[in-house]
Chain A
């Protein structure tokens, strides 16, 4: 029986949906970034235009004449409106806030404005504002006696987005074409591979290749369009800057004063350049194209040449004797390049995030296809192993999606919780409640869920996880308050816990004893890929949408995950019937859970187990949950780091952790040096946290009520940061923070697998059995997750809400590691055995 087109479509839907999702995501994030970057050009241009108006008003300001007597407004306004079609309003407002002169187009709106930034370092203080419909630049007017009013220029956002939209229409067109090609390719390949088994075997690699080629193509199209948009912005800004400076120089020529009788024009140019960092050169050029004055000394007196890699705009100077002078302003192409590079960073993050997404779903797509093809060919019987592998490949995307939605708000959730806690009169400690309660519910639900799993339909159970996670996300999306956020986190913790137990039982149920590692791999890989992908995509989206919209998107993805689970993931019976798995070796859930209590009492009598748990395991989890997941996003947000960069930092943490986990397991298995590796984990993690904490302490003016040693560390941190600032290393502080994060990620990688090996070697493990002790350990270890945010927020409060709290925790981690190293009996045993062997 041949596969119908609709079946083929459904079976290839994961890869097609991922392609579509990637294109939409790239487009959305690019649009947001271009909008932000282009608005900087527009605001810079508007500032230069306000300067031009201020220059006209200068004589009145100089003479302390009321600005109401300014007679040139209409001429100035006409020139400005004629030269820039995007301007919708120009006003001169007096000290009392009354508009003395105004020219407004009908499309000028009266919406409330919010201040974006302020710059008080310039000759005239400037404020940049925006409403839903416009950008506004306000330039303060001062005369010798103080504030007299302000100039307001407004540009319609519609006009700004029109420039972007024009280019993005091309991107949409290309994206549609590209998707059609991809669609056709996938369907054609699928059709051809039916008759050519060698093609079918390479399907995953070929689809992966096609996906990355399409990704590269769409990114190329976007970069070309974006360069065009930035060019437009840079040229408009250069023009406005040239007009502004030209007006100042023209004031000399209009009085028929020879420029050679004026000194300091070169210095004035350089001063103007210093106030407008984007200007690469400014030159006054004669009719014979010789440079008369310039920001570059070497160019003076020589024939004018436009600097390489620059946007140039020149304007003729008005004068009484029409001497043909003109002023040229150039802006380096570099500013466009750096804007593109900022975007390239996002493309790279998306490439990794979407790559992981496609990796998970391509596997699922392949599994679905092979399943269906076997069904259609009665002669083709699947092997047991294939069926189990297909089952695991199909459950992985469901786990991926539920963790993905939970990871999406990771980069901003601590700050959101703090803000919301602030509204209800809370502090850092109150902000930790949603985190602590999440981990608490997550842990608390494990035992009852385990019992439930033994007697219920696992797909339904996992669906319950999706549903409660969905309720949790919706609570936050529609709530908007601290208590609903906390409630949402309770639901999320419940959902994640139930799903994890469901998944655990599912993989145990479908895999025979010798394939259990594969089941664990699904969990570890699915979770890590989802954390990396979810955190980074969530952080990128949060830059361009508010948290409620983001939680709605997460809810939608969660819903898709649930539908996927219900429609495409086979039940345990479906897999087992086909694969005929030997299920006799599976432990009884009830038996297992009732044993945990007994095992708990036994393991708590083993000093080595307790040492490992308290000195290394729980400390490591406090570090991850308290420092990396809670404190670092909070501190970075307060330092003004963008959500996208916080996501990147967390992504780096996960990647470092995953890579090191892989190698650490190999080393520990081969050499058996688990104590040393665990100590190394505390040392590296401690140093990482120490670094992260230190980079945030630039001053320390707090009363000496804390122990002298702590004050000493704070003073040392201040000195270190001063040295760092004076060393003029670019982004030194931020780089150190990233190094700290990487070290913490490495420490987490050194901890995850080796600690399980170490626990396996404890006397109690020999007595009770490895699995029982490992299960108890994993249960107790969650205490670190639960108390992590509370402990770290307590330390932050102790250190006057500075990052010194993190440094202190880093030091304690190292100390605990040293205690572990010197007291671990396993290490001593190993040494004794080494000596005996010698």
Chain B
């Protein structure tokens, strides 16, 4: 899949056409932001305009818009909007969209939002510190010759033998 920004299309449209394409990008962004939960018109408009400008400054091909680039830009803009630390160029960064959704919840205050989404704490789980659990030995017990010499081992044996003798005394007659 193509993910990098491309240079402007060789058959780039003329100025009037560019305006149409810009409007189309803005409409697409507006639709995406609304789907992402940005229901406030003014905020959505502001974000869409800012993202559109940033993308055009970076040379986004307006004819064949790479939506992967657009979505990354939306995430970055939302991160900036909600002051969530941006992990930078580490590939996927979707926390802008998460911050947007979390902010819609009354329970999420700016403090808890930062704590929840701070990349330093990991996300989903705390940081791992792997330490293997050693497999235990479950081999069956086998009598050993040395065992015969241990007096402690004789005691249960003696008990068993005495019990059997008692049973024999009762049963055999």
Are A and B bound to each other? no
